[in-house]
Homo-oligomer: A and B are copies of this chain.
Amino acid sequence: MSGAAETWLTGHEPQALKTLKRFCRIPSISADPAYAASVREAAGFVASLLYDAGFPEVSIEETGGSPAVLAEWGGLPDAPTVLVYGHYDVQPPDPLGAWTSPPFEPTVRDDRLYARGVSDDKGPLLIPILVAKAYRETGERPPVNLKFLVEGEEESGSPNFEPTVARLKDRLAADLVLSADGAMWRADLPSVTVASRGLLGLDVRLTGAAKDLHSGRHGGSAPNPVRALVAMLASLHDADGNVLVEGFADGATPPDPAILAAIRAARFDPAAYLAEIGAPVPEPLPTGEALLERQWLHPTLEFNGVSGGYAGAGSKTVIPAEASAKITCRLVAGQEPDAVFAAIRRHLEGATPPGYHLAVERHGPGSVAFALDPASRGLAIAEEVLTDVLGAKPLRVAMGATIPIGAVFKRHLGTDAVFFSFSTADEDYHAPNEFFRLASFRTGLKAWVRMLEKLAAEARPTARRPGGS
């Protein structure tokens, strides 16, 4: 069976590319209300692709924001059920002038397709849809029970995603989630992401006098919230950037030795990294291992913004009435957002000097770190397939960013999510000139066929369900 589907896909590459281009022509920018109609058009496009691929049940689900697309193709009681996750919305294309070809006019150059959203996530999402279609076109059906949940708000922080999963949990029930989103780390190193950090956001506001004051007339006798706030913020870290908040790391578990081994294996080049982000090279230069450990395995307390008083041209002799900071923390396994928030608030309260008023406001519940069970069968099978198609065993890596879907599916469905995407983190997916390697498109089609086959074969002799540990 696998042979027929793969052969069909190989023979229909031009059509597949054409479909991907049509998908990428829809400016489904979820962050901009002006594109609401295009977002709905993209949802309809995905639904029609799934219907065309043979899914007997396809529905567009209202979420309160952009709709989600749900598809189900059951009917194999002895086969496992796989839920595919992806998203059809895209990042805004600004700055437009920096694009070589227009963001919504997909263009092939050097075996890459350039378009907004092609790598994140329209190309990777189209792969499993085309794989389902290949089975149908060759007179078969996919070898597992297959479901899709495709959301339209991933680039806007997925505000309605968790409630939608909770509401639809019976229809979404599966043995394994395969995410078509979540790029591979590097083009030159096969990898699979098995852990990500959690998130907690908060705002800090410090108030002195009731109004801005003249810094000449009042300087020295009036409170200056900028002066007080910078001292309070400075007390949150030591000189090396380690967080000094008591209780901040309570409960944090030691780093996974497998990830530490992956960091050693990755041979991360610190100078190349600093050149990539355009930062001055510090003396002494940290090791690549130290940088990756800080990026993947250490918690952070990061200032996303600070403001207070005058920021325009020239001078304004003012003592501002207030000063603010925006903070997000990335959390490691074992850290609880509630406890972290309480620890930071306590620290700031203790650091507030007399004569100022402090307000600390939390942004939502936050999310815990995500780690896939290292013994997950789904993960092991994915690694076998990736070894097969990429020619080398993939490294199990972590990432610094937060992937909320892993924790959401685990919480509401009890199901592991394995990242099985064929985009790569260097494909400028939040920047101008986003592209998707067409070689990855071809590899991905092959890999998804083999993945579904292996999951079916795994279940066949023993009826053992993958995904459990």
Contact = CB atoms under 8 A, between A and B. Distances in A.
Contacts of A239: 231, 353
A421 to B, nearest CB: 15
B197 A279 contact: no
A283 interface: yes
Contact of A317 (B294, B304, B317, B357): B304
Given A216-B400, A401-B216, A317 B328 contact: yes
A423 interface: no
A462 B300 CA distance: 79
B282 A305 contact: no
B354 A220 contact: no
B305 A326 contact: no
B237 A227 contact: yes
Contacts of A227: 233, 237, 241, 302-303
B278 A219 contact: no
A363 B283 CA distance: 32
A295 B400 contact: no
B277 A302 contact: no
Contacts of A437: none
A87 to B, nearest CB: 17
Given A219-B400, A227-B241, A280 B357 contact: yes
- Identify the interface centre among A197, A239, A326: most chain B CB within 10 Å of its CB: A326
A328 B316 CA distance: 9
A254 to B, nearest CB: 17
Given A278-B209, A306-B226, A217 B315 contact: no
A207 to B, nearest CB: 8
A460 interface: no
Interface in A181-233: 197, 199, 201, 207-211, 213-224, 226-227, 229-231, 233
Contact of A216 (B199, B210, B303): B199
A311 B307 contact: yes
A314 interface: yes
Interface string A330-352: 10000000000000000000000
A222 B279 contact: yes
Contacts of A216: 197, 199, 330, 399-402
Nearest to A314: B363
Given A210-B278, A222-B279, A355-B282, A215 B304 contact: yes
B210 A279 contact: yes
Most buried by B among A213, A277, A306, A317: A306
B215 A302 contact: yes
Cβ-closest 9 pairs across A and B: A210-B278, A216-B401, A305-B309, A282-B355, A282-B354, A220-B294, A234-B234, A226-B303, A305-B310
Given A226-B306, A306-B307, 6 more contacts: A199-B317, A208-B280, A215-B330, A216-B402, A224-B241, A317-B328
12 contacts: A199-B317, A208-B279, A210-B278, A210-B279, A213-B277, A217-B400, A220-B241, A220-B330, A220-B400, A221-B292, A224-B302, A315-B328
